Each structure stands twice: as structure tokens, then as C-alpha cells.
Structure 1
């Protein structure tokens, strides 16, 4: 752990990393980077580097965990052993279990779980590099991975934290501000402004809490705009790739065939040898349809002695 700075905010109101007190860190988003996952996202939030993957809806194992009327949401938050300066012991710890629980609860109400009964939606978070605010950054990445997987949701979830250092409220704490700050309050918010997660570590007055909550909500709105833009850019690029990969010759052949099929047939010629199939009959043909007195040959049981009858005789017989 680095030494505590003498001041977190200078005379110009700027923080140690040059940001203003109400400014979030730079964000980099890449969507759909894992081929075998149903949805995935790689997100850099300041110096945080996070990978999120979503699998499902899929069959629940073990079976006794499934619910008959809705899907279950499982959220696993894990920090890689190399993600922090002091090598971390691999495997879940108390903090990872706690972060997984509160993050899962932040998503459960926003996912239409009733559409997938007896199934599971699994969200996996891997922290590749940690620099304060990993739970909020992980929620932002998980929300994009769910959207990439096509999971029906009421809206994207955006998350940001507000804290207090030097008796001043600041937005999106970095590592030193998180380690030596007086308070830390992460929140998660849906697109309709509903708070789905709120935690606080430290002490805030009532006025500080209200102001800090407003700052955190504004930070979530800014993050939502970045999430939305990243999704739009991703699917626009995907559509361009599909169009570019299409073979040009096959497209031309299809257009030629369709144009040939739509061309009208000019001056049709019908031969007298072609029998009338009875589909079309003209009025003139009906008027001229007078039975000719032609003789027809009707074979009796004795094929050697055919009986010759006229049409009139046949009509009388039928009557």
C-alpha cells in the first residue's frame, strides 16, 4: 500500500489524477470478445481491467436449485491472484462472496426471469487488474454482457461510487482515495432511475448523503450513455462485417434470377396439339360447343365385335 498523500485535492479543486471532484475515470468498452460465451464484455474503468461473461438461459445444475416459475440468476465475482500488488490467494474469500451476493440482487429485478422457468442465467466476473471501484465496474461490464447475450431486461444497469476525502465529496474514487478516504458509497441504478444497489462504508451527514447520492446518480447517467454508445457501435460494426462477408457473385445471380422471374411473357403461342386443361374457357368456345355427330367405338365384353353407336344413342342410353 502506498503512503497517504498530504492532500487529495489541490488549490484548484483538482484531484491527484487531475480529475475534477465530479468527474469519472476514462472508460474503454469492448463487447462480444469471447466466442464461446453467450455474451461478453471487456471493460477498463481507469486502471481497472475486468472481463464479464454470461451463459444462459441454460439447464440448472444441480436440479434442486431450479425454480418452477422463473430463472435463477447466479453471479460469481472473482479477483485474479495477479490483479493486486500483493499476490492474492486464489479462490473465493469473504469479500468476493459478499460482492457476488449484492451484485446478483442488483440484477435479479431487472431481468425478465419469468420468461425462462427452470433455467439459470450465469454471470462470471474476472478482475484482471484492480484499482478501486471493482464492484461498480464489474456491474457495468455484466450489464453489457447480458445485453450482448440477448437476455431480456427492463434496462441497462449502471454503477458508480461517491466518497469523501478531505471533508469533500468526490465522484468515482481511485485507489488512494479509496484506501485513505473517509467514506465510500457505491450505487447501481437502472435506466428509469431506480436504485438497485446502495452500500456505504464510513460516515456521511444527512446533507452529504443527499448530495453524494445526486452525484452518484449523475455519474451513473454518464456511464449509461457510454454503455449505450458502445452497444450501438458494436452492432453497427457487426452488421457491416456481415454485409462485407457476403459473396458478391451470389448476390448478382440472385438479383438476375429474380428479375427474370418477374419479366412478363410476351406473345404466347399455344399449339393446337396441346390439349385444353380446362382452366380457361372463352364465351365463344361455349357457344360453339355443339356436340358433333361423330361415331365412337365402345368395346363390348367381346373385343372382337365392337359395337358402333352414335352420340345420340349414347345419350338415350344414359337417359
Structure 2
């Protein structure tokens, strides 16, 4: 089950600015965590939990259902493309030293985050009109379902393809390409540095800089692998459905329906892993988590102590 507490914890701790990260990196990580949190809130909490356990509430009206779909699509796009923006920022910082001082700044990060979020929020507005009411009762429209026109119209088909090309096909390519270039640069720099340090010395020396670069390679590979692995099932399902035009499922036992649900689950799971991969590996972040846990334990102990008096 998706756990929004991971993203809330990341947002709170990163916002304190005590993890030893630059403000530029902190802005990206916080924005990514917020985007992932909105994905979980909109799809898991507002749609699935409310739909199955609180039927008949105002959130089940067609207007709210459509709005939740738009919020989910926009937050998903923003979270994915903010990951691309952060990957590009790290590529510039590691591989383009001349551009680093101009691009890798907190002002640039704020502008990039604002542009990405604004652009994809507008881009997802058509999803509101792609859904219609599932049924009506006493002149009130309830729930929402993709309209028949969405499956037959060429315009909607083009929009659906554009949506999946932008998320996640292009991010797949960008993240993979940038990480390959970054890892290649790190390996070359580490090889040169190791050669200079070992020159004239028969003993192996521990180099903290090389160790940090190796950790960077591991982190980048984990990021790419996690993102692609968790999105692959849903992407394959989308391509199969669009090519074969198998838009409807016969029953809940339909293998295609099971693939769809598995793909959606893995896709949502990626909203919980981004913050963990980027942040939890940082020692200072772990220390802040421990401090937060100690603080909460002290508050709980004091509360219990006061109750006993």
C-alpha cells in the first residue's frame, strides 16, 4: 500500500534545511516529494478510498470526480518531469563546470519548478472533458467514466498518445541519456584521479572523493532502474490497448484487467520510492529522522507524564 508518510517526512525534514544540501537541490527534492504526495492523495485517498468506502459523498459527484482526475494527472506529470529537471541539474553540476555557477542556483531551480508545474497543469485540463457521468440520480450526476468519444475520436487518441509520450516515454529517454553521460563523466574523472594518486605508490590509498563518486553512480542507476521498472507494466498495457483497441474488460478475472491493476499499483508505488531513493541514502537525512523520532518520543513521554499527575 502506498505510504504518504514517507513523502510528508521528506518534505518536513528537507524544508528545515539541515541535511547539508544546497538550496537548489533542496527545492527540487521538496517539489518532487510534494508532487508524489499529491499523486497519492488524489488517486489513493480522494478517489479509491472515498469511492469504495464513502459512497454518496460530494466527492463522488461527477464534477469532483473529474477534478480529482485532473489533479491526479497534473501531479503525476509534475512529479515525473521534476525528476527529469533534477537529473538535468545534477548533470550540469557534474559534467558542465562552466555552466554550473549560472544554472545550478536556487533562482533557476524556482523558475524551472514553476514553469514545469504551470505547463503540465494546463496540459492536463482536457482530462476534465474526457470523462462523463456514470449515472444520474435526482438530477445529480455521480461518478465519472471515460466517454465513448474518447475511445473513438482521433483527437482524443492523439491526446492520449501525447500524454503517454510526455509521461513516461520522454522522461525514460531523458533520464537514461543524462545518467549515462553523468556516469561516464564520473568514471573518466575517477580513473584519472586514481591514476594520479597511485602514481609512484605501490600501496592502495582510500580516496573519499572516488568513494563519493561510486555512491553517485549507484544512486543514479537505482533511480533509473526504479523509475523504468515501476512504469514499464503500465506503459506496456497502454501500448497494447491502443494498438489492439481492447478498451473494455470482460470481467475482473480478465487477464488484461489484472495487468492494468498491477501496472497502476506499480506506477503509484513509484511515488513513494522517489523521495526514498534521492534522500534516505543521505546520512544527514537519516540523522534528522532519528532526531525527529527522539523528539516525538520525548513529547509522548511528557504527555503521558502530565496525564498521570
Q: TM-score range by the shorter chain?
A: under 0.3
Structure number with higher strand proportion: 1
Structure number with higher helix proportion: 2
Taking CA–CA contacts closer than 8 Å with sequence separation of 6 or more, which of the two structures ends up with the larger relative contact order?
2
Max radius of gyration: which structure?
1
